[in-house]
């Protein structure tokens, strides 16, 4: 580690961390929040076995899970522009990540919904609740506790997938690393530094996941 190389590492750390804090983390949070809205809606449609919407939900999951996220990003950002739908890079990234992750999370939530005993629906009906009220107040809370570990893993995976949005000019921390490499010609140490920041963010999310799981276990015990 020469003095020049050490200077590059110390100087570039904040230049990589800052985009991570102001772009990568907000992008992950917004995208995952929208993905969860999509996932719950799609999972409930399948769980309720609605005759018209269920095939559409299955088709959506089939298409999204069967195509790469990078291609979906290009279709939304570059492809839609050809038909007059121009989206800013950040907005296109949020849309693509949410649509992509929504399909995967929908299957997680659906499996969790189906793990709730069928008698819970009957109990809700006996209490005078509608199907939607039963799903909202009885079924979903139990299902989401079951799905929490898998959904947390999906969040961590999405955080790392945000590195792909550099391909549609979103100035997140991977793009920041690419710019530093083009200026310093030190790809090994710079990309290792980028990987270290991703590892730092993922570790924090993992700690939060474990804390959430412990809290849910205590809640269930009580």
Contacts of 61 (CB under 8 A, 6+ apart): 42, 103, 106, 107
Of 175, 166, 168, 163, the residue nearest 78 (C-alpha): 168
> In angstroms, rounded to a whole number, what is the distance separating the alpha carbons of residues 144 and 214?
15
Confidence bin at 1 (pLDDT 50/70/90): low
> In angstroms, rounded to a whole number, what is the distance separating the alpha carbons of residues 34 and 31?
5
The stretch 110-123 carries a mean pLDDT of 84
Contacts of 196 (CB under 8 A, 6+ apart): none
CB 105: neighbour CB atoms within 10 A? Answer: 26
CA 100 to chain centre: 8
Instruction: Pick the range with the lowest mean pLDDT from 3-12, 59-68, 122-131, 148-157.
Output: 122-131
Confidence bin at 222 (pLDDT 50/70/90): very low
What residues make up the domain containing 160?
A: 3-221
As given in the structure block, the two tokens for residue 180 are 């530093």
CB 125: neighbour CB atoms within 10 A? Answer: 13
Name the pTM for this structure: 0.91
pLDDT in tens, 8-51: 889 999 999 999 999 999 999 999 999 999 999 999 999 988 88
Total structural domains in the chain?
1
- CATH code for the domain in which residue 177 is found: 1.10.3720.10
């Amino acid at each position: 580690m020469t003095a020049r190389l050490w200077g590059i590492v110390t100087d570039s750390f904040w230049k990589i961390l800052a985009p991570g804090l102001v772009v990568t983390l907000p992008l992950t949070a917004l995208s995952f929040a929208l993905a969860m809205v999509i996932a719950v809606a799609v999972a409930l449609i399948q769980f309720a076995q609605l005759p018209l919407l269920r095939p559409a939900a299955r088709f959506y999951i089939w298409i999204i899970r069967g195509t790469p996220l990078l291609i979906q990003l290009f279709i939304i950002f570059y492809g839609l522009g050809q038909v007059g739908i121009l989206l800013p890079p950040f907005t296109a990234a949020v849309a693509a990540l949410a649509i992509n992750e929504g399909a995967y999370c929908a299957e997680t939530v659906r499996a969790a919904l189906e793990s709730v005993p069928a008698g819970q629906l009957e109990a809700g009906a006996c209490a005078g609740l509608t199907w939607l009220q039963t799903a909202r107040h009885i079924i979903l809370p139990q299902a989401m506790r079951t799905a929490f570990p898998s959904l947390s893993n999906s969040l961590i995976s999405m955080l790392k997938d945000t590195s792909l949005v550099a391909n549609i000019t979103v100035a997140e921390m991977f793009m920041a690393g690419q710019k530093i490499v083009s200026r310093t010609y030190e790809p090994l140490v710079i990309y290792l530094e980028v990987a270290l920041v991703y590892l730092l963010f993922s570790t924090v999310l993992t700690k939060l996941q474990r804390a959430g799981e412990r809290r849910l276990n205590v809640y269930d015990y009580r």
